[in-house]
Amino acid sequence: MRVAIVSRIFNPEPSAASFRLGALAEKLAERGHEAVVFTVKPPKSLRGKTDDRRQTYRVKRFPVLRDRAGYVRGYVQYLSFDVPLFFRVLFGRKVHAIVAEPPPTTGFFVRLAAAIRRTPYVYYAADIWADGASQTGAPGWIIRTVRMVERFAMRGAKTVLSVSDDLTDRLAELSIVHNVLTVGNGVDTKPFYSGMETGEHYRRVSPREFVYAGTASEWHGSTVFVEALPTVLAGFPDTRIRFIGGGSEFEQIKSLAAELRVSDAVTLEPFLPPAELAPILRGAVAALASIRPGLGNEFTFPTKLYASTLCGAPAIFAGVGPAVEFLNTELESAPLGLSVPIDPSAVADAMLQMLRQGDEVEHRMRVVAWGLEHVSLSAVADRIVTELERIARA
C-alpha cells in the first residue's frame, strides 16, 4: 500500500502535528507500506536538524511563504502550500490513500484532487478551525467560509480521524458522524525517554526552572505565567521561566516581562528537537502549559503535557479542557500535576507549591513509566494504519 501524507508542518518543526504524522509515517513503513510525506522546507533556524535520507519513509519538501515569526500561518501562507499541493497530488504518482492534515484549505484542495484521481483520503481533525475563528473577532463571512470549507473537507473524507472523545462529540454536533474514528493522541516516546532509566537523570537543576516548551499563541494565554512571576520571585528569587519554542505571544511575553521588571527571570528561546528538549524538562521544577478559555478550543489538549510526562516532570496547567482530567490522574496518591484557572494568583500558588516540594525522584520515575504505557503515539499510529488498510482494501 502506498500512502501520501500532506501537511504544511512536519519534522523538524516541533508541533503536535509533526509528532503524530512522523509516528504515522514510521508505523506505515514498519508494517511494510510505502509512505511519502509532502511538506515544506523548514525555516532556516531548523535546517540541518534532521536528515530526511535516514528516514524509513520518503519526504518531499517544497518552498512556502512564512509570516514574520517564521510560521506557515495565515491564509496566504496556507494557500502557498495548498495550491501547488493540488497539482502535486493531481499529477503525482498514484497512491492508495492520502492523509490530510489541517488547515481546512489543505483538506479542500486534497478533496478536489483526490476526487479527480479517484483516491480516498482521510482528514486528521485535531480541532475545529471554524470554532476558533468565531472567537477571534473575525467578520461573519470569514467564519461562515471557514465553516463551509472545513465541512467540505471532512464530509468528503472516507474517515475523519478525531484525537479525543470531546472532539468526536463536537463533530457530531456539526453533523459529522458517519465517518469519524476516534484514534486518540500522544507523542513519540523514544526521543524523550531513550537512555534515561536511572533516577540521577530526574533531579532538579539550579537555578530553579519552569519550562514552557512549544507554541505560545493567543490561543494559549501563556502570558499568565509571567504575570504570576513577581509573586513567585518574592519567595524564591532564583526562579526562572524558560519559554522554548515560538508563537505570536513571544513578543508580548518579552514586553510584559520588562513591564513587570522580571526580564532577568524570563528567557525566550527557539524550538529545540525532542532529544535536546528532554534533559531540560527532566531538570525542571515543572513544565508549564495553558489553554485560554472562551475561544472555542475547550476540547484542545496541549500535547506538551505528554512530553513532560515522558520526562518525569510534573506539570502546571492553566485553563480548561481535557488537560484538567489528565493531570488529576493519580499515581500512588500523587497526581501528574496541578490544574488551575488561567489566573495569575492561582498560577503563582501552584508554582510556589511545586517549588516547596522536594525532588521526589521516585515519583518522577513512576510518572515516566505511566507515560510510556499511556501516551505513546505508536498505538495511535497503529489504529490509523489499520484504518488505511481497510480503506485500501475497499
Which pLDDT score, from 0 to 100, does residue 198 have?
A: 45
Which pLDDT score, from 0 to 100, does residue 108 have?
A: 97
Which pLDDT score, from 0 to 100, does residue 215 have?
A: 87
> Cell for 8?
504544511
Q: How far apart are CA 191 and CA 195, in angstroms?
A: 9
One pLDDT digit (tens) per residue for the chain, 394 residues: 999 999 999 988 877 888 899 999 999 999 999 999 999 998 877 777 677 777 899 999 999 998 877 778 888 899 999 999 999 999 999 999 999 999 999 999 999 999 999 999 999 998 888 887 776 667 888 889 999 999 999 999 999 999 888 889 989 998 998 899 999 888 777 777 665 554 445 566 667 999 999 889 888 999 999 999 999 999 999 999 999 988 889 999 999 999 999 999 999 998 888 888 888 998 899 999 999 887 666 777 888 898 888 888 889 999 988 888 888 887 665 678 899 999 999 999 999 999 998 667 788 888 888 888 888 888 899 999 999 999 998 8
Which pLDDT score, from 0 to 100, does residue 248 have?
A: 85
Q: How far apart are CA 41 and CA 168, in angstroms?
A: 32
Closest to 202 measured CA to CA, from 358, 354, 372, 364: 364
Instruction: Count how many residues are written for the chain.
Output: 394
Structural domains in the chain?
2-186+376-393 (3.40.50.2000), 190-374 (3.40.50.2000)
From residue 256, how far is each of 217, 237, 252, 261 by CA, in Å? 15, 18, 6, 8
Read out DSSP for 26-73? HHHHHTT-EEEEEEEPPPGGGTTS--GGGSSSEEEEE-----TTS---
Read out DSSP for 88-140? HHHHS---SEEEEPSSHHHHHHHHHHHHHHT--EEEEESS-HHHHHHTTT--H
Which pLDDT score, from 0 to 100, does residue 164 have?
A: 85
Q: How far apart are CA 322 and CA 308, in angstroms?
A: 16
From residue 370, how far is each of 20, 45, 307 by CA, in Å? 19, 34, 12
Give the residue ranges of DSSP H helices in the chain: 16-30, 75-91, 104-117, 129-134, 140-155, 165-173, 190-193, 223-235, 250-259, 274-282, 304-310, 322-327, 344-356, 361-374, 377-393
Do the beta carbons of residue 130 and residue 143 sit within 8 Å?
Answer: yes
Which pLDDT score, from 0 to 100, does residue 204 have?
A: 62
Residues 6+ apart with CB under 8 A from 326: 301, 305, 336
Q: Amino acid identity of 237?
A: P
Is residue 17 classed as helix, strand or coil in its secondary structure?
helix
- For cell 483520503, the residue is 121
Do the beta carbons of residue 343 and residue 359 sit within 8 Å?
Answer: no
Which pLDDT score, from 0 to 100, does residue 193 have?
A: 66
